Structure 1
Amino acid sequence: MTTPEFSRPIDIRQADGKDMHIAADASERAALARRFGLVRIDRLEARVSLSRRDRTVDATGRLSADIVQSCAVSAEDLPVAVAEDFAFRFVPEASGHLPDEEIELDAEDCDEIEYAGTHCDIGEAVAQSLALAIDPFLTGPNADEARRKAGIVAPEDNSPFAVLKGLQPKE
């Protein structure tokens, strides 16, 4: 298994009541930008509070990042500020199911991240939270012009109602 680009392992035995600030350095940000298909990540940091119950660690906090991504239409670079609260739970790796076996998840299970041994990776969890915050269809102010130049009409211009509207007698 390879080490994640933004790895910040923490020993679960020392996690209870721990507050921490983590920040990605330039090489970590560049690697994450490649992984997520971004132009670049100028800043990625998070404040994290940890609490532990037996072998389960709850992590809550806030990530903030400054990223640059390409417009989905014009490909121009768009700066984006990301600020997201997060809450996830690190749980011991399940040994009761096979890798391809279907399992039922409850709503509270969806934020669970399995770990093996005695360490969980706060950095990778923050990186995954950033990935979920990225808008894959982000469009910039020049997107409409780029569509027009490419001859792409807006969906509402191609709707049956737009066609019917065009059939109305002109006054």
Structure 2
Amino acid sequence: MPPNKLRKNKNIPLSHPFDTNEMGAQKHVVLRPERDELDKLAKFLDVKEIVSAKANFHLTRANGGNIVKVEGKVQAEILQECVVTLQELKNTINEDFDAYYTDYSQAVPFSAAKKSLFSKYGMSDVPVLDEEEDPEPMKNGVIDLGEVMLQFLSLGIDPYPHAPNADEYLKKHGIQSADTMQEENSQKADKGRKNPFEALRALKKDADNEE
């Protein structure tokens, strides 16, 4: 599940709020979900089982203390089913990550700040956000590290796991390989999609008929 969908989902099964107001220049945090949390995570991420999982976080303040950089690694062992043979597979996840967070109520975006920074505030008084970093928002200085862990754990999961004998299994059924099967499924899906320009022409035609 993509991270942007996780952020929109209010029912995520793992939450670990961390108040950055209580940290100094840096902080190290280790998150190890309990067994019941792992079961909920497995269901949420649509895998057979999450055997174990942990995340190491290293938080540091940047840009005068208004931006917090979160970096670390998510490690997990998960059980999945081969999409071809339905055999159980054990996969290991080692996902490095880094992200930036800021409280936008305490910082001025670069595009707005550059117009009034020197005349109104002075360079040393107002933190300026680099738009290239595009930090995630945090409310009242709180970052949900459970959500961060879940986002990057989801990125490390293979959406199409294959057993070592998957290609052999497919050849017995007249399919050249697992890659060929995925390509054929993709082509079928593309044939079912309408051309976007055709859809636009149809909308324009409907609008003309209404005039």
TM-score by length of 2: 0.61
1:12/1:55 contact within 8 Å kept: no
Partner of 1:134: 157
8 Å contact kept, 1:15–1:51: no
Partner-residue secondary structure (3-state), 1:78: strand
On the 8 A contact 2:167/2:176 being kept in 1, the answer is: no
Q: Distance in 2 between matches of 1:151 and 1:5?
A: 42
Residue 31 of structure 1 corresponds to which residue in structure 2?
40
What residue number does 1:67 align with? 78
Q: Which residue of 1 aligns with 2:145?
A: 122
Any idea what SS the aligned residue of 1:18 has? Answer: strand
Note the alpha carbon deviations across 1:63-87, whole angstroms, 9 max, x for none: 2111111212212111011112211
Secondary structure at the counterpart of residue 154 of structure 2: helix
Aligned length in residues: 146
Q: Larger C-alpha radius of gyration, 1 or 2?
A: 2
How much is the aligned-residue C-alpha RMSD, in angstroms?
A: 2.7
Contact 2:93 2:156 in 1 (8 A): yes
Q: Equivalences for 1:1-171 in 2 at 5 Å?
A: 2=10, 4-16=12-24, 17-53=26-62, 54-92=65-103, 106=132, 108-109=133-134, 112-154=135-177, 155=180
Q: Where does the alignment leave 5 or more consecutive residues of structure 1 unmatched?
A: 97-104, 156-171
Amino acid in the other structure paired with 1:22: L
1:118-140 residue CA offsets vs partner (Å, 9 max, x unmatched): 31111110111010111112211
Deviation at 1:6, TM superposition (A): 1.6
Residues 142 and 21 (structure 1), Cα distance of their counterparts in 2 relative to 1, 3 Å cut: same
Structure 1 or 2: larger helix share? Answer: 2
Secondary structure, in 3 states, of the residue corresponding to 1:57?
strand
Deviations 1:20-65 (A, max 9, x none): 1110111111111111111110111011111124332111112211
Q: Does the Cα contact within 8 Å between 1:15 and 1:52 map onto a contact in 2? A: no
